[in-house]
Structure 1
Amino acid sequence: MFFIQSFGGMMNDHYRLKVLNAKASIRAWSKRRTLHAIAAAALAILLSSPMAAHAVEASSAQASATNTDAVAIATTTATDEDEKTSEALNTAVTAADPTPATTPTDPATPTSPDTNNTAASTDPAPAQTTPDNKPVSTPVAPQSDSVVDNTNSYGTKIIFDFNGDGKTDAEDWKAYLKWMHEFKPFDFDLKTGDLGDSHNGGVQITGATQMLVNGQNRRLDSIDTNLDIEKITRYYLNNLKQTTPVKNQSPFGTCWAFASISALESAILKAQGGAAAQAYNPQDHLHPILSNLEDNGVDLSELYLAWMAYDLQKAGSQKGEGQVDVLPIDEAPDRMDCGGWATMAQTLFTAWQGVATEKAQPYWPKGVEMTFENLLKMRNWHDNWSLYTDKDGKPEEGKPGVHVDGVYYLPNPNNLVPDKNDHLVYKGHNDYADKLIKQALVKYGAVQIGYGADTYRPGQPAKSDYFNGEHWAQYCDATEVEITHAVTIVGWDDDFDPSKFKAGKNDVSGLKKGAWLVKNSWSSADWFKKNFKVDDATAAKKANWGIVNEKGEHTGYFWLSYYDHSINTPSYFSVDLEKDGFDYDNNYSYDFLINQSQSPFVLRTADKGTEVANVFKANGNETLRAVSVHTGEANSKATVKIYVYKNMDAFKDNDPTNDGKPVMEFTYDAAVPGMHTVKLPRALQLAAGQIFAIVQNITGVNDDGTTNSYLNLETGMSQQAQFPDKNNAETKGRAMGYVWSTVVANDGETYVKLFTENGYKWVTPKEIGKLIGNDEFFEFGNALIKAFTTNGHDDADLMNYKMEKETPQVIKGEAAIFVSNAPFTLFKEVRVDGKVVNPSYYTALEGSTDVTLSADFIKTLAVGKHTIDIISNDGMASATFTVANPNADKPTVTQTRATTKLPATGDLPAAKLPATGDASTTIPLVALALGVAIAGSGVLVRRKNQ
């Protein structure tokens, strides 16, 4: 107060001094005032120009919008439907009301671990700071449908009730870590590498975790409501020439690769037939055709898939990512005995890897002549197994002619739950799952499954005693089951006699009718005859497994009861064929962690706002046409946003969304879990070097009907978890079946939005492993998001934008203004009369997209009509204008306002601000200029009189 009074006294003294010296200073003052008046008039005239008018109005409108938005946000309630983050909410509240925010009493609000989730105090919260010491307001938690304890001090709520006590807390993580270290998917003999009897056939730790935590009870009623499966009692893909012949996986444990390739080959054959391939005629399915089958030109390499699954990425940003075997024998072909899972095929196939023709990569030891005699001595050629490579050392692939654009997982026919002692416990049968498998067979082709085989390889004695050797039919009714083998379902028979399943241990007295026709990979008489040209008698003698045909030859097929307790993880593919022209030329991918990230095992967060984002850089002039959506549960919903940037500066704070609005946003409902290729609502042209981000929020439904979101990242075992005892080599990779995995997540590739104790925050994958379990449990990699593009640009892809303002007539030698309602972020170029205009001949400003053709450019145009196209990355706005001679009437600028929505290909907001050259803004400013000049003169006269 003292300082203000003193300062006021100084001002009064200064004023008195000026009065005493008025006469001496009047001339100098008059000159200054005259200059001020002239400057004010000049400024007002300058402001009346189109460019300045637009700048002034933009500034004014922005300030007005900011004040209005702050009030609107401050009065918004953070409900489940509110998509605003708590950070945005509290920032607005703090700006509108300086009163300290209070901590809400919402039970979903994260608290620190030592508070035991008690209700938060309503007293004003203490001041908090961000890592860069900037003050932040107390967050308001989003409404959550479920309440769980915190799992870490960061505040993120992970749904991970491992011990089954109805909540997630530190005890769950301790129990999980112990189980992880003791888990054994295989009983390997460390000296020989033999699989032994196996516990659960290689349900690796993340897959077993998925069964325990994510559950398997998500109901899916149909994958195609137009298919009336109930009326089809018998169906065989073989009879429609939509499967390939039985092959032989010997001498390795590569059943998973044979089952995956079999399903893929069938998907190709089904797709080649188009819609007609889904037609059904009962007369075509009276009896299954099991012999003399042809591949119809589709024969892919199982060796290539099995080999590449245990190969690290050799180049690119993800170099070093993947998995390798760590069997003590440590020889290259050992990878062929590590086993595998269908999800390993998904990782490679959807990255357009792991697919080659059988001709390019035959399933045969390299450098060994393919003869019947050498087949009998196959064990002698163990070290000769490897890939064929070209002159540059790159594996040969041939021309498989296929891209896998979808991998889908159906609900398990059986509820199988790990008992935490390496076994799976049968909890009941899901009848609706059988219908889904049938729908997939009719629409997409063969369905891959895992099950508990009676024997582990052909020629071995039966071990489970659930198999009827006379009818080649299996029904396992055990409570504790083992998953030991992968095969392919190729048909069904609803009327199959249950008595034919009777074996030594099972009880078929109450068993209902019905069986799957299953294709195995343990050879057939046809396989011997086709590959080694042996006679029928020799083939019949060597092929000793599978249903017998009318000639007494084993075919390699068998019947599996619908109700066999061991059937699990049915999956199928959708494909894009080269013969029709591939839909996409380029696949931008970061996720190559193979089986661990694609169980599907995805950690769930209790709130709905978790988002993941991948940032890519276009390699050339390309058009973005589709993205992948990866879901882990049935009936998931994805919200997809796309952003484009000029450089990486937007990501300095790890937030890919705060540098502007998305240029595209849409939702996608994924009924079936898996990897989906989703076409964009409209194409988006990208320039070489263009940086773009794809942000996704995936939500699903919990067992109790509440909603969660997914931490949709590559999720593998941490390095520590894979090797818990550095003094005991036998523990290295044991929980993964003696497989060692490595994740690569580089800076600038993936960002994740998590709800924390300080509200929503964007972090990197490297941070998450430390935040969730201090790197003891999981190792997080990139987001499970891919981008698909085609090469080049095509104007036919461009949607129509509206020309909001235009100059229909322009005097030659004067500027002309045109405004497209396209977002300025997407501005690409200007064309006049179909030719691209050099950027030096126009200015492009942000409003919507405001383009002013320069006077120098207008001079180059002939008198008469011309066309202008303002091109954006996804559309164009067009107009015609006339160039007139200087003695013609002055041109006028017209303005139209969009009153209707844009076409269905994508609604975009029209510009809210008046654009450059708007006549309605120019006239008032001209009047203002004259008023200021006159006012300045009046003041000058008055002061002189005084």
Structure 2
Amino acid sequence: MRKKVREGVLVYSVVLVMLLFAAQAQAGGGRLSPLNPEFAGASALSAGASAGAAQIRTPWGDALPAGKRPSPLNLEHLKHPVTAASARTKKDFPAQYDLRTLNRLSPVRDQDPYGSCWAFAAMAAAESPLLPGEVHDFSEWHLGYWAYMTNPDGFPAFTQWTDPDYPFPNERARIYNQGGDDWKAVAVLARGTGPVNEEDLPYDGPLPSTKPSIARRKLLTRALYMPYPAREIWEQGYPHLIADEVKSSIMEYGALSIGMMADFNEDTWNTETHAFYYNGRRGANHAVNAVGWDDGFPKENFATTPPGDGAWIVRNSWGERFGEGGYFYMSYYDTSLDSGIAYILSAPEVSGIIHQHDPLGWVRSMSASEANSETGWMANVFTAGEDQTLRAVSFYAAAFGTKYELFVDDVSSGASSASEALLAAGVAGTLEKPGYHTITLPRPVGVGKGTRFRVRVKLTTPGYEYPLPVELPLEEYSDNATASPGESFYSADGASWTDLTDDFAEANFCIKVFATAGMSSSGGSSGCSSASASPMFFALLAPLLLFRKR
């Protein structure tokens, strides 16, 4: 009987929420952004085959599967100098900078024998900002596995590719030669799947499925996107503005995960100077880390002479026998260098409640109207499974200088307007860099068990007309994404709302809410405040970890 009562209450609550939005309904008209040209330019199977079946030849003659795959997310608008306002001017940067000399890098590691460079680059970038104060060795084995296998917590897997012309020799190769990209790593970490320690799941050791309950050691709170120039910009000369953005990020956050075309041959690789320069039209097939630069690195040090001096200092994942103890120099003028991600994690032993509908993360962006405005509204609805305190909200920003406003409403009573159901109002601010961001609520918001609440976010992305981040099924990338009516809504004006599944089946917005068990005595909040991710919040998260899509 109690089960039937609970089910009846849940159905009733869902109906009330849908009636609330229906009363404000509009005809829709949302539009998805174009796909990344590198992803759209080939069928997903051939894109997968290029990662898994294609081989990268190392300088000493070994072959490794190419492990970096293109993401469908189109951020080409950020790869032009006019869209990137650098945090520093060029004169502020030293001519040389090397994280190795500052003890801000973990030891070089070896991905052999799998095409798992993307996981190694992500973990190295996650470890670097914590140094020198905290030393961590996160498990690439764990990240690579749960990206492509259904998680014990119910999270779906990214699509695995198969090709009869390239049969995998065993299960390990099938999983770890899938290849990947930074946005997959961000999605897995942001939903709370890891990172875990290397000692708990060592590389090429027992499969993670044999140890499903290992506690994560950190929580991803930000993943900041650092664009590298679109190839056509090279015709206009070296774009210092974006290069300075990358330099600024290395100094502030540490190692960045980047991509490159790892075509090591006599035209691209100088074995004496450990210098690499590729000047072709092929995209990145290998993930590495940018860890510094040398403006005066002579152009004559490269096998083929680039237009000018200067090189990035790059960390590889082929062990210390490669290059200069695992590092090498890549010309500023390399045409394959792909944009970088800085990973910022917080709080040891973090655990808590995460409300989310987007376990596969940011797949595409969306406009809230056919007019493709830079401003749009999105909302996600969640249910509190127990008494709890809402403490932070996360989402993605698709432009430099993205402006946001977020609101938390109680909609379990079927209130006829947001003002009648207000819990927290007017948290507002500007995000300097694009990427994944976590915003701490100025005051915690207590909600009781069974409460249905919604988070509304208004986003304005200067110069970009698809402001809303979406998770949805995409063939042979995120086929396993799911959604239900009543979970995600969008609006052009914040007043008239459309259920996202009316326009795009199985689609959800990328909004997460972080909470701790038990209701805080501080109550709700009001007024307008600017907020950002706070380490204090993550230190307060409760011991009980609940990772469910709810």
**Residues 602-637 of structure 1: per-residue CA shift (max 9 Å, x gap):** 133513553211112223332222111311222211
Q: Which residue of 1 aligns with 2:541?
A: none
Find the counterpart in structure 2 of residue 265 from structure 1.
127
Give the CA deviation at 1:202.
5.2
> Cα deviations across residues 640-687 of structure 1 (Å, max 9, x unaligned)?
12112344x45xxxx984864564122221121111111122222222
Q: Provide the TM-score with structure 2 as the length reference.
A: 0.79
Within a 5 Å distance, the mapping from 1:24-423 to structure 2 comes to 156=29, 158=31, 181=43, 184-188=46-50, 194-196=53-55, 203-204=69-70, 206-207=72-73, 209-211=74-76, 216=80, 219-223=83-87, 230-269=92-131, 272=133, 296=135, 298-316=136-154, 319-320=155-156, 322-328=158-164, 329=167, 332-333=171-172, 334-366=174-206, 386-387=207-208, 389-390=210-211, 394-397=212-215, 401-412=217-228, 414-416=229-231
| Matching of residues 271-670 of structure 1 within 5 Å | 272=133, 296=135, 298-316=136-154, 319-320=155-156, 322-328=158-164, 329=167, 332-333=171-172, 334-366=174-206, 386-387=207-208, 389-390=210-211, 394-397=212-215, 401-412=217-228, 414-416=229-231, 429-455=238-264, 462=265, 465-478=267-280, 480-501=281-302, 503=303, 506-508=304-306, 510-511=307-308, 513-524=309-320, 543=321, 545-547=322-324, 555-578=325-348, 582=350, 585-594=352-361, 597-598=362-363, 601-604=364-367, 605=369, 606-607=372-373, 610-647=376-413, 649=414, 657=418, 660-661=421-422, 663-670=424-431
Distance, in Å, in 1 between the alignment partners of 2:151 and 2:209 is 18
Give, in angstroms, the shift of residue 262 of structure 1: 0.6
Counterpart contact for 1:415–1:426, Cα < 8 Å? no
Q: Of residues 428, 432, 439 in structure 2, which corresponds to 1:671?
A: 432
CA distance in 2, matches of 1:425, 1:745: 42
SS of residue in 1 equivalent to 2:224: strand
Shift of 1:782: 1.6
Query: Quick one: which amino acid aligns to residue 243 of structure 2?
Result: D
Q: CA deviation at 1:248?
A: 0.6
What SS does the corresponding residue of 2:438 show, helix, strand or coil? strand
- Equivalent-residue separation in structure 2 for 1:791 and 1:477 (angstroms): 54
Give 1:487 shift.
0.4
Shift of 1:301: 0.7
Contact 1:220 1:635 in 2 (8 A): no
Matched to 1:711, the amino acid is L
Work out the CA distance in 1 between the residues paired with 2:258 and 2:40.
30
Shift of 1:428: 5.9
SS of equivalent residue, structure 1 residue 443: helix
Q: 1:359 to 1:469 in 2, by over 3 A?
A: same
SS at match of 2:437: strand
Contact kept in structure 1, 2:297 and 2:310, CA below 8 Å: yes
Deviation at 1:404, TM superposition (A): 1.4
Q: Please give the alpha-carbon distance, in whole angstroms, between the structure 1 residues aligned to 2:114 and 2:38.
A: 32
1:710–1:304 CA distance, 2 compared to 1 (3 A): same
Match of 2:487 in 1: 749
Greater Rg, structure 1 or structure 2? 1
CA distance in 2 between partners of 1:741 and 1:159 (Å): 17
Aligned equivalents of 2:235, 2:417: Cα separation in 1: 45
Q: Alpha-carbon deviations, 1:545-582, whole Å to 9, x = none?
A: 212xxxxxxx1110112222111111101221227xx5
Shift of 1:448: 1.0
The change in CA–CA distance for 1:358 and 1:638 in structure 2 (over 3 A counts) is same
- Alignment of 1:767 onto 2:471: no
Cα gap change, 1:237 to 1:403, in 2 (>3 Å): same
Query: Per the alignment, in what secondary structure is the counterpart of residue 239 of structure 1?
Result: helix
Name whichever structure is richer in helix by fraction.
1
Alignment partner for residue 454 of structure 2, among 679, 693, 703? 693
5+ residue gaps in structure 2? 1-21, 58-64, 532-550
- Displacement after TM superposition at 1:162 (Å): 8.6
Rounded to whole Å, the distance in 1 between the matches of 2:471 and 2:524 is 31
User: 1:216, 1:184 → 2: CA distance?
Assistant: 29
- 1:765, distance to aligned residue in structure 2 (A): 2.8
Kept after mapping to 1: 8 A contact 2:33/2:365: no
Kept in 2, the 8 Å contact 1:265–1:299? The answer is: yes
Matched, 1:714 2:471: yes
Paired residues in the alignment total 497
- Deviation string for 1:667-726 (max 9, x for gaps)? 221121111111122222222333221111212123xxxx63523221442xxxx3xxxx
Contact residue 454 and residue 465 of structure 1 kept, 8 A:
no
Comparing both chains, which one has the higher relative contact order based on Cα–Cα distances under 8 Å and sequence gaps of 6 or more? Answer: 2
Find the aligned partners of 1:321 and 1:744 in 2 and give their Cα distance: 11
Q: 2:129, 2:33 → 1: CA distance?
A: 36
Kindly indicate whether the alpha-carbon contact (under 8 Å) linking 1:404 and 1:574 is maintained by their aligned counterparts in 2: yes
Superimposed CA distance per residue, residues 256-308 of structure 1 (whole angstroms, 9 cap, x where no aligned partner): 001001111112225x37xxxxxxxxxxxxxxxxxxxxxx4x11111111111
TM-score by length of 1: 0.48
Paired with 2:284 and 2:509, the residues of 1 have a C-alpha distance of: 30
The answer to whether the Cα contact below 8 Å between 1:200 and 1:481 also exists between their aligned partners in 2 is no
In 2: Cα distance, 1:786 partner to 1:235 partner: 36
Change (3 A) 1:416 1:186: farther
CA distance in 1, matches of 2:393, 2:432: 17
- State the alpha-carbon separation in 1 of the partners of residues 30 and 202 from structure 2: 49
Could you tell me how far apart the structure 2 residues matched to 1:214 and 1:514 are? 23
Amino acid at match of 1:590: H
The 8 Å contact of residues 428 and 530 in structure 2, kept in 1 or not, is answered as: no
Aligned residues of 2:69 and 2:179 also touching (Cα < 8 A): no
Distance in 2 separating the partners of 1:186 and 1:630? 26
Query: What is the rounded CA distance, in whole Å, between the counterparts of 1:187 and 1:315 in structure 2?
Result: 29
Q: Helix, strand or coil: the match of 2:497?
A: strand
The one-letter amino acid paired with 1:560 is M
Q: Tell me, what secondary structure is at the counterpart of 2:400?
A: coil
> Residue 512 of structure 2 aligns with which residue?
786
